[in-house]
Amino acid sequence: MMPRTADLARAIAVGDASAAEVLEVHVARIEATDDRVNAFTGKSYARARAEAAAVDAMRARGEALPPLAGVPYAVKNLFDIAGETTLAGSKIQRDQAAAGSDAFLVQRMQAAGAVLVGSLNMDEYAYGFTTENSHYGACHNPHDLSRIAGGSSGGSGAAVAAGQVPLALGSDTNGSIRVPASLCGVWGLKPTFGRLSRRGSYPFVHSIDHLGPFADSLEGLALAYDALQGPDRLDPGCHAQRIEPTMPTLTRGVEGLRIAVLGGYFHDNATPPARAVVQAAARALGASEVVDWPHPALARAAAFIVSASEGGALHLEDLRTRAEDFEPLSVDRFIAGALQPAAWYLRAQRFRRVYRDQVRALFQHWDVLLAPATPVSAPAIGTEWLDINGQQQPCRPSMGLLTQPISFAGCPVVAAPMWPDGTQGMPLGVQVIAAPWREDLALRAALLLQQSGLAQIQLPAL
């Protein structure tokens, strides 16, 4: 078992290991496994070695080290990395100039001492839930290489699950952090909409996109989240005016928290293993009541309309002139989105305002809500249809059945890795959901799931 994020940071801080040594262990792991996993689309080893050397030099001078000093990480390839072309999973973006500077969150990770080792596979332009990328190859689930890793941040989930890096950054519009975290069995955090700056990341749907971390432990997730926080005056979409540290609050436990399980839509669209993990989490957290989320099916439909419309508009010129260079699995959806009537988009956004008020009203009565992260565990690569409680559902969009309604409301969610029976040893995660700006409550509840032994990472035998 590879050392966890917090343990790595402590070992480097006290001199039990050097940042250079830790980096080379992870480089060796990447080189030994990625020909099968296909998580990485770019490797930044020269930069990583320079950053690790800078950490070791700081320690040699007796300077205090930042919280993630020497911890390796990688980023979904829609984050700008200075001197590299930002691919966003596409063929078209290869023609663009290299980024002139790092994305804001990459800068935050560097300031925290983390060491960037590369960029990660994803669905083209983040439009997908499976990372079956036709340009860069499918990303494989480390727990069963015949299965999907989820998407669109599939490379981020797979890289952490495979032990290639302890931390990764991804994006989540309709579920693109939570779905890979669930299917790969790692920790993921979709923060409140607007909490973290998106400057220097390639957009999918500006009005819904979130950025956030994946990690090998709940403590690692909180450390990464705390490092990423901070106002960015150059990103008008970043609404966080101050840092809200979460690590000190984790030890408070769940005493006094009002926790319930989402029923109705979230029960009906989950298979028995997905229901089982939520029931297990509810028992561990002392949650016995079942509540209904307001209008989840309508929210999902509205999220689809907004995603297709904004995505199609963003790529309209390329759709007109080089549609053949798009991902075959998503080009028709981009074209359809570009052709949607403006009235549909406006109606979906008007509904969203009412919907968010209804969700906030729900959180007047509850602090944390639990739901499955995905309806099923990871299906085989190439699967077209799923059987969900006797209903045939298209596989790729249905992986986001349970995540889309939550992100459309902008709520923070921790995806906790669980391991139910009936999935052939594959993970299936739980969403731990809190009210906007209350990431601390979701993290506190999730920590108890880790401490109980229910939520944990299992390193695959690659």
- Could you confirm whether 153 is annotated as catalytic? no
Give the chain as a 3 state SS string: CCCCHHHHHHHHHHCCCCHHHHHHHHHHHHHHHHHHHCCEEEECHHHHHHHHHHHHHHHHCCCCCCCCCCCEEEEECCECCCCCCCCCCCCHHHHCCCCCCCCHHHHHHHHCCCEEEEEECCCHHHCCCCCEECCCEECEECCEEEEECCCCCHHHHHHHHCCCCCEEEEEECCCCCHHHHHHHCCEEEECCCCCCCCCCECCCCCCCCEEEEEECCHHHHHHHHHHHCCCCCCCCCCCCCCCCCCHHHHHHCCCCCCEEEECCHHHHCCCHHHHHHHHHHHHHHCCCCEECCCCHHHHHHHHHHHHHHHHHHHCHHHHHHCHHHCCCCCHHHHHHHHCCCHHHHHHHHHHHHHHHHHHHHHCCCCCEEEEECCCCCCCECCCCEEEECCEEEEHHHHCCCCCHHHHHCCCCEEEECCCCCCCCCCCCCEEEEECCCCHHHHHHHHHHHHHCCCCCCCCCCC
Clarify whether 18 is annotated catalytic.
no
Q: Are 163 and 457 in contact (CB under 8 A)?
A: no
Q: Which of 18, 152, 156, 309 is catalytic?
A: 152
Active site residue 201: no
Instruction: Catalytic residue, from 18, 76, 153, 398: name it.
Output: 76
CA-to-CA dists, residue 407 to 107, 352, 415, angstroms? 25, 11, 13
Q: Which of 176, 182, 197, 377 is catalytic?
A: 176
Residues with catalytic roles: 76, 152, 176
